[in-house]
Structure 1
């Protein structure tokens, strides 16, 4: 998800190119406008000969222009010479061959792409030392940098996702103490400026009443100014075990995104924060029934979006009052919502893209008959041209017969 300035610059370049080419192109086509290409779905977790992977693939991420895609897989036949069962794979353009992230003797996981598609962060794990490391890979040069900035109080970079800004300057990550004497699995969300090597704490310090032990869900705006994260802590299973917080690097302020409309504690936790690329909105999912005024018709999972400029919080329901909704991603300015939907019986109603201004929806996981198929984790490119998702269900493409988790790219335009 790119900031608007970057999109404007690219648009200007595109206009210039179209202007230069308009004459010959129009002459060749007789002045006719080329037909609009219909949406199509492609399975990319395949071997070079097109056969399905021999292991599960999932957790896809995508660049702002939809060209670069990365995911994890336990398959060993996607790229020749794969000797470990768990790896990050990526491709740098539609039709380009898959490539594997290689850290000799270690598995790799938790891929995150910059909106520019140039930088890829990932975690490596050594079974020999039982230690994990966080890395940044430059997909243009192939160089890999291990992230190990100095931190106070015995904290070090730990496992978990690490979103990176479009220009590769800022990386948000989870830090944990080398030794935790309290056994509370303490963790912090940190922000690294790779240009200056300065590290600052994003997550709030504990007041002693809660043990913060869940810091695995992090999202970042394209310019690295805002970081959203889940602050999870121990407590009754029926209570509020986690909050969605958004930190502003410039102002230093933290916004409680899943705060209720009347200031009362939420009656349960929220999960899955996703920031729009411009940092104006944050989406999340919650079972809470008291975040917004009025009755919750399904008393189950719902998608919420908070406007960080106005403070407004809205719940986005399904077609029927009892439908479940889960937000997977936001468009670059939060005007469109990528939703996973299901009915009250948990039967999938498919992955949809909803325009919040018009209410128009598009089914992104159609089956052969046009009906909805189940999709798992999903992400939307900032230019809204591409959606990536994983699924264990056959039928997204005719050749999917391996009955295991695969990664798909849905090209919308």
Structure 2
């Protein structure tokens, strides 16, 4: 099997304060007053001004709860009338009107001079959390050489810094904050940071000097997960070990539940409680694992997949009200396992979605591949998702799961050639699975149902299940277009009319 190789993005490492808003979870499944009309077919999200062909590639980042707003990053300079100043920016497309706007803006409303590639959107699309290394994002920025997390209020036009104060008490001024996730109401933002002064309640004596981080040993970076309450302006350390100290290594990819009560994240730090048996060492052959496209962005800085660098870690969930940290990445036999770095949780925080490696020659020449699993965090039940049609064994890797608010529909990317019957895609493609029936369908298809002529990946489904946003090099996904596959990725949105939440739900989701 051959496949299109995705262009690697240059990235930095990737990557309860106050009372919780009780209405936040409701907001994720309820459409705002002005609901978005459904899409009538696949559309290209990353389109230039007046429909011009983008002059560079774009990457999917998310979609709001009712599927109206698609979030993406781009290196293109012709998506809006004002050219990008930093070369990489975050954009939002209103799928109802077709309007594209840059959202990684300075507080002045002008484009900021830094680059922005990571972002997250809240339920109604009002708030976008983004990362920038620009020095002009908010007034009073005084320290150079750092990335920070900001929130842009699209209604008021205000941009605020959320990853700490404008100045730092940390003697290391070259710190990094990134990988934001935002709650449905926009109040809570989780992120990764190398700063040590964000939570004043944490005392980390560090009796021994930390090893000097380098590109050769990126996992020696001390990077932790934090949660900021934008209402109370307080920040809490999340990735603590059993003694309450910050994790000693790298934590990454935090994901907030809609109500802000649960945070999922991966960590190379030893955060397990004393009574929890450690995760078993990866089986022979699983060290050389075929990672899905885009997985490299979750690796520590400079780390690309290799035998010498980590490709998986324990996945955890953190309960904000109680402060309880629990391991989540168990296999179907009940043993704790190492999950790929793109693990996530469902909007209600009830399920964890993660990929575990299994021995078996992959299509990329590796000795193992990844298979998606879904764990019910309440009952402990684990379901293997991308294992292939009955009587077959999957060898192509799967990853980047995205699940709807009713916990029924799971979207994911895969290189497996045995997930659906009929003609098989020769590379990475986007699929969805009905978690009640086990049925899997291909998503990134041409209007007539035929295969996309390029590779597709990184799907994000809206909480209500009506819209999926994904990246693709295919040139035949939109009605009226049929051109060869491109070298770079663009972003597309597709309706999912047949299975949006409530369409055929006869009370079957009452699994409490």
TM-score normalized with structure 2 length: 0.66
Alignment of 1:107 onto 2:125: no
1:107-127, CA deviations, whole angstroms, 9 ceiling, x for partnerless residues?
222011112221100011139
> What corresponds to 1:337 in structure 2?
410
Aligned to 1:191, the other structure's residue is in SS state: strand
Mean CA deviation greater in 379-388 or 139-148: 139-148
Root mean square deviation, CA, Å: 3.5
Paired with 2:256 and 2:39, the residues of 1 have a C-alpha distance of: 32
> What corresponds to 1:383 in structure 2?
464
Mean CA deviation greater in 342-351 or 243-252: 342-351
Paired with 2:341 and 2:58, the residues of 1 have a C-alpha distance of: 23
In the alignment, structure 2 segments of 5+ residues that lack a partner are 1-22, 107-111, 137-143, 198-208, 213-219, 271-280, 282-286, 288-306, 360-366, 419-424, 498-512
Alignment of 1:406 onto 2:495: no
1:203 Cα deviation after fit: 0.9
Paired with 1:224 and 1:400, the residues of 2 have a C-alpha distance of: 43
1:370-411, CA deviations, whole angstroms, 9 ceiling, x for partnerless residues?
233331111000111000001123222244758231110102
Counterpart contact for 1:74–1:86, Cα < 8 Å: yes
Aligned to 1:161, the other structure's residue is in SS state: strand
Aligned to 2:179, the other structure's residue is in SS state: coil
1:147 Cα deviation after fit: 1.6
Aligned to 1:229, the other structure's residue is in SS state: strand
> What corresponds to 2:477 in structure 1?
396
- CA gap of 1:299–1:252, structure 2 versus 1, over 3 A, is same
Paired with 1:38 and 1:133, the residues of 2 have a C-alpha distance of: 35
- CA gap of 1:342–1:93, structure 2 versus 1, over 3 A, is closer
Aligned to 1:5, the other structure's residue is in SS state: helix
Mean CA deviation greater in 93-102 or 124-133: 124-133
Higher share in strand: 1
Aligned to 1:216, the other structure's residue is in SS state: strand
- CA gap of 1:10–1:377, structure 2 versus 1, over 3 A, is closer
Counterpart contact for 2:29–2:65, Cα < 8 Å: no
1:205 Cα deviation after fit: 2.9
Paired with 1:224 and 1:282, the residues of 2 have a C-alpha distance of: 15
Alignment of 1:357 onto 2:360: no
1:270 Cα deviation after fit: 2.9
1:309 Cα deviation after fit: 0.8
> What corresponds to 1:24 in structure 2?
none
1:160 Cα deviation after fit: 2.5
Alignment of 1:146 onto 2:146: no
Number of matched pairs: 381
- CA gap of 1:287–1:278, structure 2 versus 1, over 3 A, is same
Paired with 1:388 and 1:203, the residues of 2 have a C-alpha distance of: 30
- CA gap of 1:405–1:326, structure 2 versus 1, over 3 A, is same
Alignment of 1:44-55 (within 5 A): 44-55=45-56
Equivalent residue for 1:311, pick from 363, 368, 380: 380
> What corresponds to 2:223 in structure 1?
187
Paired with 2:62 and 2:351, the residues of 1 have a C-alpha distance of: 19
- CA gap of 1:226–1:61, structure 2 versus 1, over 3 A, is same
Paired with 1:39 and 1:362, the residues of 2 have a C-alpha distance of: 19
- CA gap of 1:38–1:117, structure 2 versus 1, over 3 A, is closer
Counterpart contact for 1:176–1:187, Cα < 8 Å: yes
1:193 Cα deviation after fit: 1.1
Alignment of 1:277 onto 2:314: no
- CA gap of 1:260–1:284, structure 2 versus 1, over 3 A, is closer
- CA gap of 1:371–1:342, structure 2 versus 1, over 3 A, is farther
Alignment of 1:203 onto 2:239: yes
Alignment of 1:117-132 (within 5 A): 117-126=125-134, 129-132=144-147
Aligned to 2:225, the other structure's residue is in SS state: strand
> What corresponds to 1:295 in structure 2?
none
In the alignment, structure 1 segments of 5+ residues that lack a partner are 18-35, 290-297
1:92 Cα deviation after fit: 3.7
Alignment of 1:116-265 (within 5 A): 116-126=124-134, 129-149=144-164, 158-177=176-195, 181-183=210-212, 184-205=220-241, 211-213=248-250, 215-232=251-268, 237=307, 241-260=312-331
Paired with 1:38 and 1:136, the residues of 2 have a C-alpha distance of: 28
Paired with 1:133 and 1:37, the residues of 2 have a C-alpha distance of: 35
Counterpart contact for 2:31–2:65, Cα < 8 Å: no
Paired with 2:118 and 2:448, the residues of 1 have a C-alpha distance of: 34
Paired with 2:88 and 2:324, the residues of 1 have a C-alpha distance of: 38
Counterpart contact for 2:39–2:494, Cα < 8 Å: no
Paired with 1:356 and 1:329, the residues of 2 have a C-alpha distance of: 12
Counterpart contact for 1:327–1:337, Cα < 8 Å: no
Paired with 2:98 and 2:339, the residues of 1 have a C-alpha distance of: 41
> What corresponds to 2:294 in structure 1?
none
Aligned to 2:53, the other structure's residue is in SS state: coil
Paired with 2:60 and 2:260, the residues of 1 have a C-alpha distance of: 22
